Amino acid sequence: MSKVCYDGAELKLMMMRWYQQLFKYDKCLRFYMQFNKKKSVIHLCSSNDTIHTISCIYNKYNYENGKIETQEKLNKSETNKRNKITEFVKIANIQLNQKTTFSKKLVDNSPSLIQPYLRLIRLDKPIGSWLLFWPCGWSIAMAAAPGALPDFQLLSLFGIGAFVMRGAGCIINDMWDQDIDGMVARTKDRPLVTREISPLQSLIFLGSQLTLGLLILLQLNLYSIILGASSLVLVIIYPVMKRITYWPQLILGMTFNWGALLGWSAVQGSCNWSVCLPLYTAGICWTLLYDTIYAHQDKMDDVIIGIKSTALKFGDKSKIYLSGFSTVMITGLIASGILAAQTWPYYTAVGLVGTHLVNQIYSLNINNPADCAKKFISNHRIGMILFTGIILGNLIKVSKKDTDIVQESEKKSILIKQE
């Protein structure tokens, strides 16, 4: 990580003044380089205190000599400076509250005393709970008996469990990150940062979440209880991984897709590893894909405060890596389907998922936070499409028992004709 020194004091001062005025930052404008060795594009995102507008500042810059290359000489007049900077600035005009969802309304209309706790578990942003639930749903549906619907009671338990454990994970993450969340525009209003909730209160709340999660887990068989409890290690260590490795998304993938193993064992009493491992691998690659996209929103803040991510690791080559993850994901889904004797609706769903991934990666703008957020949220549809495909594929399966009955009936018909 290298600190960049600028030539052209006027440009630096003008940029700093504009940045401070728009976003009320009291820090000097500092850029750090963590992308390519030759040249790169600096993508700076921030927001003000009122409307949370995300601004993207694009500067061409030479890594070797540390000089900003301007397309034309800036006029010394302050008015002209303000005009000229628009040539380097693209305002995304993203207002995070532009679309008011039901979950956000629910939080906003709740008693003010509990609102910080609801925001702490991200009740106003349910996408994380859905992304945690879908691998569970896939596995439960795939483990169902041929021709049968998935167990609704298990789906309900895992749905509640996904919500509870995602909330617990958010609390653990915020407790680890409370010292750095205040330096990131997207996270600076989290309850632990604003001191709406004290560390002790969050710890007590975490205890209640984990207790509820344990009660849900105890409804399952012994094999599943042991398997589910073992995932808690991943939940706890994930937040610290971003400080020591550029692959925290891998740990998140292992954590978020544990349900691909747990769902099957909850239905069958143990894991069929030949089916579960390809499904689990596919889920991990899916998480690597969508969370890398998610991490591109904060990459400049992450560089400044020293947080690592696959978005920084891959840089401008992100789409190549995302394509690789998509390929492995689709391969894993196909392998899992074959080994689970899935039928054509399942493979149709896998094809739709593949098409969605191709479109998602092709149209992705890694330097546009709005687009990254949109693409990240769209992964909810991937989970739903695959879940539907598994259910439909399972409904038209013919069980071995039914096959034996049909074969026996055919044999009897042949014998009768021969007589």
Q: What is the pLDDT of residues 71-108, one digit of tens each?
A: 344 344 444 444 433 333 333 333 333 456 788 888 88
Architecture field, domain 114-398: Orthogonal Bundle (1.10)
Task: Please give the model's pTM, rounded to 2 decimal places.
Answer: 0.74
Torsion 401-391-229-248 (CA) sign:
positive
DSSP E strands in 133-242: the ranges are: none
Lowest pLDDT segment from 93-97, 276-280, 286-290: 93-97
Question: Predicted confidence band at 403 (pLDDT cuts at 50, 70, 90)?
Answer: low
DSSP designation for 182? G
- Among candidates 395, 381, 142, which has minimal Cα distance to 272? 142
Torsion 282-284-285-289 (CA) sign:
positive
d(CA 82, CA 15): 9
Q: What average pLDDT does range 111-138 have in this prediction?
A: 94
DSSP E strands in 328-410: the ranges are: none
Residue indicated by tokens 């993938």:
253
- Among candidates 407, 388, 390, 410, which has minimal Cα distance to 399? 407
Domain ranges of the chain: 114-398
Per-residue pLDDT, 16: 43
The number of CA neighbours under 13 Å toward the Cβ of 89 is: 17
Q: Is the pLDDT of residue 263 over 90?
A: yes
Q: Is the pLDDT of residue 31 over 50?
A: no
Residue-level length of the chain:
419
Residue indicated by tokens 């390929």:
327
Q: Is the pLDDT of residue 26 over 60?
A: no
d(CA 40, CA 365): 15
Question: Predicted confidence band at 275 (pLDDT cuts at 50, 70, 90)?
Answer: very high
d(CA 165, CA 157): 12
Per-residue pLDDT, 399: 56
pLDDT digits (tens, 9 = 90+) for 310-358: 999 999 999 999 999 999 999 999 999 999 999 999 999 999 999 999 9
- Among candidates 291, 268, 288, which has minimal Cα distance to 280? 288
The stretches of 219-343 forming alpha helices (DSSP H) are 222-230, 232-244, 248-256, 259-268, 273-295, 299-305, 310-314, 318-339
% of residues, the chain, pLDDT over 90 = 59
Take residue 232 and report the two structure tokens written for it: 């808690």
Q: 292 phi and psi, to 5 degrees?
A: -65, -45
d(CA 242, CA 136): 25
The residues that bridge with 60 in the sheet, in sequence order, are 41
Q: Can you give the C-alpha Rg of the chain in angstroms?
A: 25
Encode burial over 356-373: b for 16+ CB neighbours within 10 A, e otherwise: bbeebbeebebbbbbbbb
